[in-house]
Amino acid sequence: MTIEKNIALFPLTTFGIGGPARYFALVQNIQEMREALAFANARAMKIFVLGGGSNVLIDDKGFDGLVLKIELKGVETVKEDGHMLIVAAAGESWDELVGRAVKENLWGIENLSGIPGSVGGAVVQNIGAYGSALSQTLEWVEVLDRESDSVKTLTKEACKFGYRDSIFKREPGRYVLLHAAFSLDSAPRPDLSYKDLALYFEGRVPSLGEIREAVIQIRKKKFPDLNFEGTAGSFFKNPVLSGEEAKKLALKYPGMPLFALPESPNIKIPLGWILDYRHGVLDLRDVRVGGARMFEKQFLVIATEKNTTAADVKELAKIVQEKILVACGISVEPEVHIVAR
């Protein structure tokens, strides 16, 4: 395994932003991962684990440590106790995995179609979309525990998943993901609970392939085209409020939909709705910093033109956060991982 110096990171991210990594290693197996980690440990250097680069904002000055670009590959479908497990290495493309599951007629992750990034990144942030979350089908993960330098299997419960949350976010740096296993179903179980999907099929029960295609089509209308612009999807997390607080806000903003959270009495507020000028709360259409703006087809998303800097994006985010605080009294957090130099 070679450790390279001064490697540009911007081409490895969907924002297309960021300076170089001081050191950089492509990691294709656990042996290489151990070697790379030993290199960093020996120099008391910080590390950053990079997957598909689709949910990160790298600093304009780059990263002053070692970037591990995860290239662990391999997917296997196994039958276990009457159900199907699909086991994927952390460096696999998430969307290719979904495509494969759909081809193999396995239900459970099709609503998560079209999400850019790697399997490892998908687990870390417990991706969710169109009524479904990764944690609903995840069975176990295999990790390298840096504390004990051992390979461990963690159950779904040990991963402590929440809305865009997991142990991997709460204890950053401790675990590096190696594999993830998803329990999928051969019997149809379409989930059309999300309004956009139900509307798409107008009451008809679609096939597995049709659901994947529908989700991809819906997403195309809402997200910037990466061929022309940069983005990391939703820039902020939707705020989660107590039932009481949510009710107050719903009275203030009639028509605002509210979203229940699984296994929680709390309510998720659609920040995109609040940021959308058509609802009369905030109007961000003229708010721009450099080439960064809130995306006019989905106001929770930041889109960036060529030559936008990380400083521009951070400044825009700060302005928007302040406006939300003044208008609604809510502090919102970035959903995108902002990587410090």
Footprint of ligand EPU (CB under 6 A): 129-130, 222, 233-234, 237-238, 257, 270, 272-273, 276, 298-300, 335
Q: Which of 54, 212, 234, 293 is catalytic?
A: 234
Give the three-class secondary structure for 252. Answer: helix
Nearer to ligand EPU, 61 or 297 (CB): 297
Neighbours of 238 (CB within 10 A): 22
What are the residues facing 7 on neighbouring strands? Answer: 21
Nearer to ligand EPU, 123 or 144 (CB): 123
Nearer to ligand EPU, 23 or 168 (CB): 168
Q: Which of 210, 213, 315, 335 is catalytic?
A: 335
Cβ 118 to ligand EPU shortest distance, Å: 14
Q: With contact defined as beta carbons under 8 Å apart, do 57 and 100 qualify?
A: no
Which residue type sits at 48? F
Nearer to ligand EPU, 178 or 211 (CB): 211
Cβ 113 to ligand EPU shortest distance, Å: 10
* DSSP-H helix ranges across 125-170: 167-170
Cβ 57 to ligand EPU shortest distance, Å: 12
Cβ 149 to ligand EPU shortest distance, Å: 32
Q: With contact defined as beta carbons under 8 Å apart, do 208 and 107 qualify?
A: yes
Cβ 235 to ligand EPU shortest distance, Å: 8
Neighbours of 171 (CB within 10 A): 11
Give the three-class secondary structure for 255. Answer: coil
CA distance 105 to 20: 42
Residue 174 is among the residues annotated as catalytic for this protein: no
Across 62-106, the runs of DSSP E, i.e. the strands, are: 63-70, 75-80, 83-89
Cβ 49 to ligand EPU shortest distance, Å: 19
Which residue type sits at 217? Q
Q: Which of 113, 164, 166, 219 is catalytic?
A: 164
CA distance 170 to 254: 35
Residue 322 is among the residues annotated as catalytic for this protein: no
Neighbours of 218 (CB within 10 A): 19
Rounded to 5°, the CA angle 140-232-134 comes to 20
CA distance 307 to 327: 31
Nearer to ligand EPU, 193 or 307 (CB): 193
- Rg, Å, the chain Cα set: 20
The torsion of the CA quartet 318, 321, 327, 329, rounded to 10 degrees, works out to -130
Could you tell me the two tokens for 235?
């820039």
Residue 43 is among the residues annotated as catalytic for this protein: no
Nearer to ligand EPU, 85 or 122 (CB): 122
- Which residues are designated catalytic? 164, 234, 335
